[in-house]
A and B are shown apart, each in its own frame.
Chain A
Amino acid sequence: MLEIKSLTKAFGRNKAVDTVTFTVEKPAMIGIIGRSGAGKSTLLRMLNRLTDATEGRILFEGRDVTALRGAEKRAWQSDCAMIFQQFNLVPRMDVVSNVLHGTLNRRSTLATIFNLYPEADIHRAIDILDRLGIAEHAPKRAEALSGGQQQRVAIARALMQDPKMVLADEPIASLDPMNAQMVMEDLRRIHEEDGRTVIANLHTLDTARRYCDRVIGMLAGRIVFDGTPEQLTTGVARDIYGADAGFSESATSTEIGALERVPA
């Protein structure tokens, strides 16, 4: 389904993503882990075409995504939703309008600046918000919501796109443990109930273990691990993070259960 062939992104002499190659055969929930600066964000941004690749190709259902330009590129971006660490909503617009932004690729500029969305779309946006449990906030401004709620609005916007794939760049890094858990469960449901592929950059190991079917580890732009959560031992994790024996998984955990699970 998704095939990434020796994808490289160079910033000057520095390679942020270095000949990354992997394949996704069927819809799955994939977690990408690695320390900051390992190239996780750049990889996702290249998949969404927010950043252009220096070399290599991304094939989705046999189509070369890296070669798309103009309207075709925007159509691909609409098929491949992105969720950001800082939510990236329009703060002064109401929640439903933010969700309706998911349909921008299908609507003309003139209709959207006058807020002329079809009624069916508005109803669908409210249904998606209801599914994520935040329908009662529909008429509020996005900036009035808490971080966790804003992230769920961002997920609703992604769902509004009816995407073939959902990318999430550190979706829970700015959230408290309770909201982090809800957002991760939402992402898991998007995969399980809708059968969409979800690729998420995660900054904690236990989140990747708990929610993902497959974990990819990156170090200095290269893939250094690609396997199931079970294969991800503490030793492997130390290699991915370039850490020594003092590295402890529970110390960085954001999972509420972790404190009880691992007595320190």
Chain B
Amino acid sequence: MAELSAEGTERTTDIRADYMAMTRRKRLYSGILLIVFVAMMTSGFMLADSRNAGGFWDGWHNILDFPAQVWGEAWEKAAQLPGHLLTFLPALLETINIAAASTLLGALGAIVVSLLATRGMARWPRLIPLFRRVMDVMRAIPEIVIALVLIFVLGGGPVPAMIAIAFHTVGALGKLFSEVNENASLKPVEGLQSVGASWSQRMLLGVMPQVAPNYLSYALLRFEINIRASAILGFVGAGGIGYELKNAMSWGQGKFDEAAAIFILLFLTIVFFDQISSHYRDRLTRGRPL
């Protein structure tokens, strides 16, 4: 096979030299960047380790002790596991309920706020920065802080947890939704404007059909996150499976079989909702199978 000459013509000599210079510069930059990255990672790790009470190098080989003990106790009492799974099912349902209600309310709020905070779609364009900051605030405050305050005011139970998670969800989903909105075409909106449609009509009929699959996809992801969040809120007295987990997980009570059952339930729940959400996402983006 005829190969190309290795010398190249006069014209390519310049191009070769220029390109090689560019490549060398790029390599130099990435080399420096790599060295800085490694140096910062190492020094940061050393600093953090020196300030640690225990120290990473002394403690890291104990990392498997807790899972090993949970596994050991659960294995010894394996016969009781199905019973435990049944016992904790109502608590799990409560946790999922909290997550579902808060995701639904949060997503509805997020739709409104995100539309109000998107350029080209906002009802009051001048107030876009205001709505953005509102979302920032909602995202910035951790669920657990809101939940603690609400539990203090309203007393323990699922309602404060639901409000706390919904509040955070509005901020988190609002940001994602408004990014989806930015990628939506404004042409249908303009078309509806030309026939004299109101703002809410334009949004519901012109924007929603375009963004619905992405909204659903993000909302389902948030739902999974919220299941975990509502389990954590159980630790501070919001009920649900988190409360049971907190009781079972304390050292030295011999209840690690219950903890294992709860972990299994949580894992199965996440798998279940992951499967469901990918199924519906697929259906929304590709259309119903004929």
Contact = CB atoms under 8 A, between A and B. Distances in A.
B27 to A, nearest CB: 6
A66 to B, nearest CB: 25
A127 B5 contact: yes
* Chain A: number of interface residues, binned into ranges: 20 to 34
B102 to A, nearest CB: 39
Give the secondary structure class of B's interface: helix
Nearest to A97: B23
B22 interface: yes
Contacts of B19: 96, 122, 126, 138-139
A135 interface: yes
Nearest to A128: B4
Contacts of B23: 115, 122
B9 interface: yes
Looking at B9, B12, B22, which has the most chain A CB atoms within 10 Å of its CB? B12
B12 A126 contact: yes
Interface residues of B, number: 20
A194 interface: yes
A120 B5 CA distance: 12
A119 B27 contact: no
A135 B18 CA distance: 12
B15 interface: yes
A127 B2 contact: no
Given A122-B20, A139-B22, A194 B1 contact: yes
A213 B16 CA distance: 36
Contacts of A131: 4
Interface in B250-281: none
B1 A127 contact: no
B7 to A, nearest CB: 9
A122 B9 CA distance: 15
Contact of B27 (A96, A115, A120, A123): A115
Given A96-B19, A114-B27, A130-B11, A123 B1 contact: no
A135 B12 contact: yes
Contact of A130 (B3, B9, B26, B27): B9
A162 B11 CA distance: 23
B63 interface: no
A16 B27 CA distance: 46
Contacts of B12: 126-127, 130, 135
A196 B8 CA distance: 22
Nearest to A137: B15
B6 interface: yes
Interface in A69-121: 96, 114-116, 119-120
A126 B5 CA distance: 12
Contact of B15 (A115, A120, A128, A135): A135
A67 B105 CA distance: 55
A123 B30 contact: no
A63 interface: no
A139 B8 contact: no
A136 interface: yes
Contacts of A96: 19
A127 B2 CA distance: 14
B27 A126 contact: no
Contacts of A162: 1, 3
Nearest to B22: A139
A68 B20 CA distance: 37
A128 B4 CA distance: 7
B213 to A, nearest CB: 23
17 contacts: A115-B27, A115-B30, A122-B16, A122-B20, A122-B23, A123-B6, A126-B8, A126-B15, A126-B16, A127-B8, A135-B15, A138-B18, A138-B19, A139-B22, A193-B2, A194-B2, A195-B2
Given A126-B8, A135-B11, 19 more contacts: A114-B27, A115-B27, A115-B30, A116-B27, A120-B6, A122-B23, A127-B5, A127-B12, A128-B4, A130-B12, A130-B15, A135-B15, A138-B18, A139-B18, A139-B22, A162-B1, A193-B2, A194-B1, A194-B2
Interface of A: 96, 114-116, 119-120, 122-124, 126-128, 130-131, 135-136, 138-139, 162, 193-196
